[in-house]
Amino acid sequence: MIDKIGRSIEKALNIFSFETFVFYFAIAFLSLLIEWMAVGWEKSSLKKLVAFKKTVRTDFILFLLNAFKLYDLVTIVLSFGICHFITFLIHETIHLDLIVEIKNYYAELFILFMVSDIKTYFAHYLLHRTPSLWQLHEFHHSATEMCLFTRYRDHFVERALRRLLDIIPVVILGSTIQTYLIIQIVLEAHKLLVHSNIKSDWGLLGKYLIVSPAAHMIHHSNQPEHYDKNFGNTLIIWDRLFGTYHAPEPVEEMGIPNNNYNKKGFVWDTLLSLKNFKNSLFSKKNPTN
Ligand SMILES: [Zn+2]
Ligand SMILES: [Zn+2]
């Protein structure tokens, strides 16, 4: 056990991987190109990146931290490694490995994908509906300009806590959809594109099956009628099933009303969320969203 813990820590501290770097930069490059061709230079994330406003700067820093594998390291430091340790222990002790019972490769893929996507839907739902968790998730919603790299604007502690849910399908099924590189690439490109300025609703596909950029824009809108809508990660069907779907329509402004984000920079914003989270956990009366 001590050996395994040692290897896990070593893995977490192994901060640069050429494969990870290529994975992030190649997908970002292609997505930036697709967006530029679709919307032109004026509305593109590339132009926003060149203008380097504080909100876009934060998104880009988080992209770089992910690409250079530093994100997980900061996550461990800010969460004191507690979530990593708990998930490690669960992973080491429970192995149901139900996926090996399924002999068909495509059925296996389908189940892994559906379980992973519904789990992410509920995790996202909890982040919005639990007042203390919202203080962390607010960081993602504090973006005031849609940019492809807004996909990476997740608070470190939010990502640490999400591990506690992420481990559930792993211990039940014994594998994750992340095992399949090609699927990981497609899903990552989709996550970037829903944060693009393409703003398309993708027709019937976006209406009934997949989260479109226009649907995710509703999720980022600061108009009260759009709050807590379109939680879907890849599939929009969960929102349709559980009554959280809102059809795409023009959004006047994105972000959250009356907040102190995007003023003093990335580090300050990260600490602001953390402070709000801590206050919400320890105060008797939770602050409202
Ligand atoms: Zn959200
Ligand atoms: Zn988003």
Q: Give me the pLDDT at residue 289, please.
A: 44
From the CA of 196, the nearest ligand is 2
Assess contact for 266 and 156: CB atoms under 8 A: no
Q: Give me the pLDDT at residue 11, please.
A: 66
- Cα–ligand 1 centroid distance for 185 (angstroms): 22
- Cα–ligand 1 centroid distance for 210 (angstroms): 17
Scanning the structure block, which residue is given the tokens 């984000």? 261
**Domain ranges in the chain?**
2-282
- Cα–ligand 2 centroid distance for 151 (angstroms): 6
- Cα–ligand 1 centroid distance for 231 (angstroms): 6
- Cα–ligand 2 centroid distance for 98 (angstroms): 32
- Cα–ligand 2 centroid distance for 141 (angstroms): 7
- Cα–ligand 2 centroid distance for 192 (angstroms): 9
Assess contact for 252 and 277: CB atoms under 8 A: no
**What digits encode the pLDDT tens for the residues 59-113?**
999 999 999 999 999 999 999 999 999 999 988 888 888 877 888 888 888 998 9
Q: Give me the pLDDT at residue 10, please.
A: 65
Helix (H) or strand (E) segment spanning residue 235: none
Q: Give which of 269, 253, 251 is closest to 261, Cα–Cα.
A: 269
Helix or strand or coil: residue 221?
strand
- Cα–ligand 1 centroid distance for 140 (angstroms): 7
- Cα–ligand 1 centroid distance for 179 (angstroms): 25
Instruction: Give 37's contacts (C-beta < 8 A, 6+ positions apart).
Output: none
Distance CA(200)–CA(215), nearest Å, equals 9
Residue 97: half-sphere exposure toward Cβ, Cα within 13 Å: 5
- Residue 283 gets the label, from left (phi > 0), alpha (psi -120 to 50) or beta, of beta
**What digits encode the pLDDT tens for the residues 186-214?**
999 999 999 999 989 999 999 999 999 99
Long-range contacts of 109-113 (CB under 8 A, 24+ apart): 109/177, 109/180, 109/183, 111/173, 112/169, 112/173, 112/175, 112/176, 112/177, 112/179, 112/180, 113/177, 113/183, 113/234
Q: Give me the pLDDT at residue 288, please.
A: 46
Which of the residues in the chain have pLDDT under 50? 286-289
Q: Give me the pLDDT at residue 284, please.
A: 64
